Structure 1
C-alpha cells in the first residue's frame, strides 16, 4: 500500500476565466492511522459570487514537481456542485496506488465555478493532464465537460452578429472577418439545424415538446467551430489531444469506457427521446460522465478537431447519434471538408 504518513500542506489558488475566481486555501492532507489507507484532504473553498464549483484533485509523488497522479477513488466534497465553505475529501489511496509508499507526496486541489463572462453561459471546464497516445502529443489544460450546446452557439451567433464578425446570406451563416471571412460557419437552412433567426436575432428551436437549447449544436462547419473558439479565446483540440482525454488512462476503447451500449452513449439511431425527425440528439449530460469527468466523448455529435486528415480534410472524433458503435471508438478517425456543415459539433479547450 502507499504510506502517505507525511503529506505537506499545499496552498493552491485557482485563477480561471471567471466572474470572480474561486479560491482554494488551507489545504491539509493526512492519512488515517487505522491501516485503511484513507487520506483525509481538508480545504477551504471561497467564491465571492457564492458560485458552486467543480472540485478536482491531483497528486504528486516527486515533491510537487509534477502532478501526474489523478486519484479516482474519491468521496466527500469533490466533483461538481460544491458550495463555498470548509470541505473534506476522502481518498482511498490503497485502491489507487496499491503497494506503494513514500514521504514525498503532495496534494493539489483546484476549483472552477464554470462562469466565464468572456464566453457563453454554462461552460464547465475539466482540468486534464494526460501524457497521450504513444508517439503523439498529450493534453494538459482545460477541456469542456460538455459538447457545445445550441444555446451556447446561438449566443455566439448573436454576439458575433452584433460585432460584425458574421453575416447571414439565404439562411446560411458566413464569417465576415479574420482568416475565414466568406467561409460558411453554420447551415441554418438545413432541416438538422436547431437554431433559427427572427426579428434581428438568433434563437433555439423547440420541437416535439423539447427545448433544444441544451442539445449539442450540429450543422457547424470546421470554420464555424474555429470561429466560435477564437471569438471567446478558446481553441479546438488536436485529434491526439482529444484522444488523450477520451481514452482516459489508455484503457478505454470508447469515450464511455471499455464497452459501449445505449445506457452509456447516444449512437446508432437509437433516438432515446422519441424525436419525430433527425437529429436524434440528447441533452448534454443526459448520459453519465466517464474517465476524466467528460460527457458524450462517445456519440451524440461528431467533434471537430484542429488536425488535418489529408489535403483539405479535417479530422472529427467521437461518433454521433447516427453512426455505429465502432465509429464511437477513441481511435476512430472521421474526416470531412472544413466547409461542410452537416456533421460537425464542438468541444472546446483552453490553456
Structure 2
C-alpha cells in the first residue's frame, strides 16, 4: 500500500477530494497487470476500479509517481462526480476481447482531456513524467510498424490517446507520428478532433463525446473492411437526463427491449436521441408494457440508479 503522508500537498488535496465521494480508497503497487482487457499490459502504468463504492487503484512499480497516481485518482474522481461510466453486460471471453479493449481505450481517452486539465489546474507535478512519455513515443520501433501492410486499429486507438492526452505538447511528436504511421495517424486524428474541437466539462457533454467517438470508430472499422463492433449496442453509457424528462415515461426517452444476458432476463434501455445503450436492468415483476409507462424518476428509484441532471 502507498502511504499518503508522502504525497505532495496538492496530491493530498486531490486524494481527500476523491475520498469524500467513496467509502474507501486503496492504492497498491504491483509488478504486472494480468487483466488482458487492457490489451498490451506491458505499457500499463496504472489502473482503477470501483466496486461497492470502494476504489482500488493499482500502480505499476516502475511508475510510482504523482503523475500516474493523480491520473488514476482523477478517473475515480470524475465517476464520483456522476460522469458516465462504461459497462459491458455479458460474459467475458476471447471473442469479445477487441470490443473490451476498444470500449476501455475510447472511454479513457475521452476522459483524459479532462484529467490532464485537472492535473494542471491543481498544479500537480507532471512535467517529468510527460517528458519521459514523449521520449518513449520518439523511440517507437518504426520498422515494426511499417512492416504491417494493414491499418492496425489498436494503433489507431493508441495514437488517438496520445493526440488527446498530450495535445498541448503535440509539436514535439506529431510530425514523428505522421511520418512513422501515416495511415493510423489519419484515422486517429479523426477521433481526436471530436475531443479537441469540442468543449466538454460536465457529464452531459462528456457522454455526447463518448457516443460520437464510439460511432466514429465503428465507421472507421467499416471503412477498413473490418468487423464493426457496434459499441453503441453493447456498451452501457449512463444516460444524463434533463429535468423535464424525470416526469416523462420511459418510452418517450428510450427504446426498451427484453433480452437474455449471461443467463439473466433483462431489459435494455436505448436512448432515442443517440441510439446508445443507456441501461441494462434485471427483469423484475414489471412487465415490458409497465416498464414503458414507468416514469424515469420512478425508474431511478426502483432500480437504485444514481444520476445527475444535464
Please, what TM-score do these two structures have when normalized by structure 1?
Answer: 0.26
Radius of gyration: which is bigger? 1
Please, what TM-score do these two structures have when normalized by structure 2?
Answer: 0.28
Question: Of Structure 1 and Structure 2, which has the larger fraction of its residues in strand?
Answer: 1
